[in-house]
Amino acid sequence: MLSREKLAEAVGDRWSEAELSEAVALLTQADGRFPAGVRTLSPDLVRAIQRERLLASMVRTVAEVGYNALTVQNVLTRAGISRPTFYEQFEDKEACFIAAFDACAARMRRRVDAAVAAAGSDWRGQLRSGIASLPRSQTKLAR
């Protein structure tokens, strides 16, 4: 379920509460895609949301078919975004993949940093908290 908080976390908090709430309402009504027609949202906010949709689509598609088999069309189909919009954001599939990787790494880093900070000054507790904050799929890979 999309919320204003999740959207702000994904696209940043430089937009007003009203803009984020309007975007959530539009996206919720149209199954996560912007409906056709005139929008009152800032074009920068629309681009940021489309970028996040492309990044999420890239992550899911790579997990499903692998990078080598992936095509830009696979990402576009899953994201529900046009080819021209993709190329406004990214030079090619590699650029989109690297941006998605960087975004995932930054989110994990923020999650680990928050867990470590909350653990106090004991380094063992910080280490345990940091590892425990990682999603299960990443901790399984580390074993």
Q: In this predicted model, what pLDDT tens digit does every residue of 42-82 receive, in sequence order?
A: 888 888 888 988 999 999 999 999 999 999 999 999 988 89
**Is 0.85 surpassed by the pTM of this model?**
no
CATH of 4-142, one of 1.10.3720.10, 1.10.357.10, 1.20.1250.20, 3.40.50.300: 1.10.357.10
Q: Which residue, among 100, 102, 88, has the nearest Cα to 62 in the 3D structure?
A: 100
What's the CA gap between 103 and 76, in Å, rounded?
18
| Domain layout of the chain by residue ranges | 4-142
User: Does residue 40 register a pLDDT over 60?
Assistant: yes
Tens digits of residue pLDDT in 2-15: 677 778 888 877 88
- Asked if 77 contacts 86 with a C-beta cutoff of 8 angstroms, the reply is no
Contacts 24+ apart (CB under 8 A), 36-41: none
Lowest-pLDDT choice from 76-85, 116-125, 131-140: 131-140
